[in-house]
Amino acid sequence: MRFAPFLLIALAGCSRSTAIDRLGADEATAREAIAEFANRGEAALPELRVAAAHEDPLVRRRAKTAMGRITGQWGCDRGLVWKRSLEEATGKGKPILVLQLFGKFDEEFC
């Protein structure tokens, strides 16, 4: 009986799905997982790189969406992190490259 709390914690840990698993779940769960990855920032990119090669196309697409939230470019993590406005980039002492496009660069079909 005195081991019950430890058993419950262990069971809770086993039933908890990973963020990658949740990318393949229903829309609401996947949205939460994407937000979780985005909050982790660039540290989440190695895990997302794996998810972007997942056998499930839905997981692949959602992983690329999460990558887009982090890097500013949908599905890409080549080390470039895009700013979303010129104001964020000015006055930093470096020349600026501005890409103007239809749609949003961090979304699919831009």
* Binding region for another protein (CB under 8 A): 57-58, 60-61, 72-73, 76, 78-86, 88-105, 108-110
CB of 14 to another protein, least distance (A): 31
CA separation for the pair 56, 47 (Å, rounded):
15
26 vs 87, beta carbon nearer another protein = 87
15 vs 100, beta carbon nearer another protein = 100
CA separation for the pair 72, 79 (Å, rounded):
11
CB of 87 to another protein, least distance (A): 8
CB of 15 to another protein, least distance (A): 29
Closest by Cα among 41, 40, 19 to 30:
19
CA separation for the pair 99, 36 (Å, rounded):
27
31 vs 89, beta carbon nearer another protein = 89
CB 76 within 8 A of CB 57: no
CB of 6 to another protein, least distance (A): 43
CB 71 within 8 A of CB 80: yes
5 vs 93, beta carbon nearer another protein = 93
